[in-house]
Amino acid sequence: MQIKGSTEVYGIIGNPVAHSLSPIMHNSGFEALGLNKVYVAFPATNAEKAIAGCRALGVHGLSVTIPHKEKILAFVDSIDPMAEKIGAVNTLVFQEDKKIHGLNTDWIGANRALAEKLELRDKRILLLGAGGSARAIGFGLLEAGARLILASRTESKVKALAEKLKCEWIHLDEIETVEADGLINATSVGMKPIENASLVQANSLKNFPIVMDIVYAPLETRLLREAKSAGCEIINGLSMLLYQGVAQFEAWTGQDAPVEVMHAALMKAITK
């Protein structure tokens, strides 16, 4: 697309952002729909100054990533109720009156990825991790009517999150004792460069018909490889990444996102 004086600017703020796949995903979507919009990466260490600058420059929308997802809440004019519950915002919509609305699409991305294989209502899900992603996914699963069990490494963190989510929690070494409809890894275990790691013993994976890993580099983690061998259905981290982006795209444009095009752009970038 030819960038013109009238082209609307969108972007991602965070630090680091040079590795982000969001510009590839969103620009492919804008181009597919012939929209006069462009998406760029803004490395930003100060969230308050970054959004003040974007507001002043007439930026139309932002993705927000590490380390700003929590502190950005203080600088927006309105917050979606789920983002408020989660305590983190990953999407900003700059409205016509210059007000900034914050929302969280990470939970939407995870739910939509799971919904391709599983109706979540009343299902029992074991969620690994107690960090930012686990928090968003946990609230999203409850919103969809699932029943949750949390497991994570640091007892104080898993206890605190389980209290917020009002759910059961266990230690990592108790995973083998659990049977559930699904298992989600929302930790960074299995991510490059420590690819050959998994928190779940291969022989207990048969207890989970569906296994999702939110790590997307590599696309097939050790957990997913072993889950496939154990006969489980698997969902890789690209699905959540795609669908959280699809929800952002739709919040910014008011149009249905070209999901296939955005998926193909992500696949090409990840597998190259």
Ligand X SMILES: NC(=O)c1ccc[n+]([C@@H]2O[C@H](COP(=O)([O-])OP(=O)(O)OC[C@H]3O[C@@H](n4cnc5c(N)ncnc54)[C@H](OP(=O)(O)O)[C@@H]3O)[C@@H](O)[C@H]2O)c1
Cβ closer to ligand X: 61 or 129? 129
Interacting residue ranges for ligand X, rule: CB under 6 A = 106, 109, 129-134, 152-154, 157, 186-189, 191, 199, 214-216, 237, 240-241, 244
CA distance to 35, 43, 95, 103, 171, per residue, from 244 (Å): 20, 20, 20, 11, 29
Provide DSSP, 228-272: HHTT-EEE-HHHHHHHHHHHHHHHHHSS---HHHHHHHHHHHHH-
Closest CA to 38 of 27, 25, 48: 27
Three-state SS at 211: strand
Catalytic residue among 69, 117, 164, 228: 69
The Cα–Cα gap between 152 and 26 comes to 33
Cβ closer to ligand X: 60 or 112? 112
Cβ closer to ligand X: 124 or 157? 157
The Cα–Cα gap between 211 and 184 comes to 6
> In the bound complex, what is the minimum distance in angstroms from residue 9's beta carbon to ligand X?
23
Cβ closer to ligand X: 189 or 230? 189
* Residue whose pair of structure tokens reads 């003040």 in the numeric block: 52
> In the bound complex, what is the minimum distance in angstroms from residue 98's beta carbon to ligand X?
29
Helices marked H in 13-124: 22-32, 47-57, 81-86, 106-115
123 labelled catalytic:
no
> In the bound complex, what is the minimum distance in angstroms from residue 245's beta carbon to ligand X?
8
> In the bound complex, what is the minimum distance in angstroms from residue 189's beta carbon to ligand X?
5
Catalytic residues: 69
